[in-house]
Amino acid sequence: QVQLVESGGGSVQAGGSLTLSCKASPYMNYVVTWFRQTPGKEREGIASIYTGGGNRGGYTTYADSVEGRFTISRDNAKNTVYLQMTNVKSEDTAMYYCAADPTGLGPNLHLGNYKYWGQGTQVNVSS
């Protein structure tokens, strides 16, 4: 059983920055992905990272909607994956979730691949 706990959500002005954290227990070689969801819409994968080592270690992938503005990273010593959000826009307002795939071989944004989810953290961007 994998437990994921998100933190760091809150309110931020458009153009500002915010960093979300996702602490995993146990922490192993996972694919960890940040998703977001707004009411009435499907949960959208936005950033993914492979936390393991080797030649795939640290590989990332991003949705077009956040590429160049958001950065996903890992700190294996702290069992934590981060999502650094910069130049945020009003359309980034959503509930943000992290999810883990213990069997994944590389970063991916496909909702159906993820069995383990955190409880979510809300981000509100004001213009």
Distance (Å, rounded) from C-alpha 67 to C-alpha 55?
Answer: 22
95: part of which helix (H) or strand (E)? strand 94-101
How sure is the predictor about 105, in pLDDT bands with cuts at 50, 70 and 90?
confident
Question: How many alpha carbons lie under 13 Å from residue 37 in its C-beta half-sphere?
Answer: 13
What pLDDT, in 10s, does the model give residues 16-52?
Answer: 999 999 999 987 788 999 999 999 999 999 999 998 8
Give 90: exposed, middle or buried? Use CB within 10 Å, 0-12, 13-18, 19+.
exposed
| DSSP symbols for 49-90 | EE-S-GGGTT-EEE-TTTTTTEEEEEEGGGTEEEEEE-S--G
| Residue 112 pLDDT greater than 90, yes or no | yes
How sure is the predictor about 57, in pLDDT bands with cuts at 50, 70 and 90?
confident
Distance (Å, rounded) from C-alpha 101 to C-alpha 32?
Answer: 6
